[in-house]
Amino acid sequence: MLGTYFYHEIIRKTIIGFGTLFNEIYIKHDDKQGNVLEEIKVGLSYGPKQKYLAKIEEQARLNKPIAMTLPRMSFEMVSLEYDATRKTGITQTFKACDETGNIKKVYMPVPYNIGFELSILSKLNDDALQIVEQILPFFQPSFNITINLIDSIGEKRDIPITLNSVDFQDDYEGDFSARRSLIYTLRFTAKTYLFGPVADNPEGLIRKVIVDNYLDTNIQTAKREMRYTAVPDPIDANPGDPFDIDEDWTYLGDSKSYSPTLQTDI
């Protein structure tokens, strides 16, 4: 309950995963004959675009090797909202193994949407267009990334990153000495999950499954026709161990039902 310490770093991992999508983007400058004069890797940092706009205004030269250069990208998390459309039962659980093979019980995660803004700052329009065209085709409108949400049990999930909108701004005001800044703002939503604490599971693993099949949905009046039973072989196999499944089909025709409490037909 509240007060039990746990920290899976899920939000932090989602932020890192989002930023990793854009850390290998390059632009090229060609001469009139189409020969490549230079290839530049676009810088990427976490922070609001206003921070970099302020640096541009204070900077006398935009191409100094030791100062901030354009084009450049920045991103930041701007929202965190509960997603009721992906809600599951609050009492549902699943079992998983930790690094030592111990069985853990985990409650189903809570769906949350994380909003991101990616800002592209450029002095030349062609540089900005090169960057934008290397991003937009991959979002139709979403792109999935795999994140290891809980390291201890190896819980990995595909997190869709959805592109919501693209805005353009030409920040060019003042006299001829003012620096021009072209700004593209891309807004995204990451549909992630937040997990609670991982608890020990005293119940152990399910090692036998019994399914009775009826010809009618009204099991009060319908008769059982068939029973399916499945057990692992060997019976003491753990997750990760090699094992087979022994299956058995038994044809029945009575009106009884199986009682898990008494472990017999009644």
Residues 73, 29, single domain; the answer is yes
Residues 258, 160, single domain; the answer is no
pLDDT in the model for residue 199 = 77
Where is the domain boundary, 166, 200, 234? 200
pLDDT tier, 37 (very low <50, low <70, confident <90, very high otherwise): confident
Regarding pTM above 0.75, the answer is no
Q: Is residue 61 part of a domain?
A: yes
Where is the domain boundary, 173, 200, 227? 200
Query: In this structure, are residues 69 and 43 in contact, taking their beta carbons and an 8 Å threshold?
Result: yes
Task: Report d(CA 190, CA 14) in Å as an integer.
Answer: 8
Strands (E), 42-133: 43-46, 72-82, 93-97, 103-107, 110-122
pLDDT tier, 76 (very low <50, low <70, confident <90, very high otherwise): very high
Q: Which residue has the higher pLDDT, 250 or 224?
A: 250
Q: Is residue 3 part of a domain?
A: no
Q: Is residue 148 part of a domain?
A: yes
Mean pLDDT over residues 237-253, rounded? 83
CB-count burial class (<10 Å; 0-12, 13-18, 19+) for 10: buried
Residue 136 sits in a domain whose CATH number is 3.30.2000.40
Residues 71, 189, single domain; the answer is yes
Residues 151, 98, single domain; the answer is yes
Domain extent at residue 235:
209-265
Residues 165, 258, single domain; the answer is no
Residues 159, 242, single domain; the answer is no
Q: Is residue 116 part of a domain?
A: yes
Residues 115, 238, single domain; the answer is no
Task: Report d(CA 62, CA 43) in Å as an integer.
Answer: 14
In the DSSP assignment, the letter for residue 37 is E
Q: Is residue 151 part of a domain?
A: yes
Residues 181, 253, single domain; the answer is no
Where is the domain boundary, 174, 200, 226? 200
Residues 168, 99, single domain; the answer is yes
Residues 188, 215, single domain; the answer is no
Q: Is residue 4 part of a domain?
A: no
pLDDT in the model for residue 172 = 61
Task: Report d(CA 118, CA 134) in Å as an integer.
Answer: 14
**How many domains are contained in the chain?**
2
Least confident piece of the model among 37-41, 151-155, 157-161:
151-155
Residues 68, 112, single domain; the answer is yes
Residues 161, 252, single domain; the answer is no
pLDDT in the model for residue 4 = 79
